Amino acid sequence: MVEGDVGSFDTRYERLTGYYRDLIVRGQLKPGDRFPSARELSEKHGVGRTTSGRVHGTLISVGLIEHRPGVGTFVLGPPPEGEQEVPALAAAARDVVEAFDAWRARSKPQALTNAVARLRDALG
């Protein structure tokens, strides 16, 4: 059963990521709470495993959740007051994901190389 429509096909990843980010920031998902697996997200929201995996990866990369192999995925919580996501790193990570998708579609293989270089620069 699909629970809650999270948007049209082309924006489900962004909307699903924003939906869970908001739940964590507002405290509806608290630090230590179990976060749904990629398979559970797929089933609950009617999205593919690639989309749910990207949601996981993004939330992990911005420090809102963590995956513990053999145990599960858990909420870390929002950043402490005054701290925010690292904009350069978040933007570079988004570019890498978008470039990878374009590369897989064989439309812009050079974009992946450029995005990885930008990510390396952002990481320092």
What is the tens place of the pLDDT at every residue in 49-91? 988 988 998 888 888 888 888 899 999 877 666 555 555 566 6
10 Å Cβ neighbour count for 94?
A: 15
Longest dimension (CA), the chain: 44
- Supply 80's token pair: 């402490």
Q: Answer whether 20's CB lies under 8 Å from 36's CB.
A: no
What pTM, to 2 d.p., does this model score? 0.59
The SS3 of residue 37 is coil
Q: Could you identify the residue written with the tokens 């994901």?
A: 97
Q: In terms of Cα–Cα distance, which of 61, 17, 58, 65 is closest to 41?
A: 17
Q: What would the pLDDT profile of 10-22 be if each residue is shown by its tens digit?
A: 478 888 988 998 8
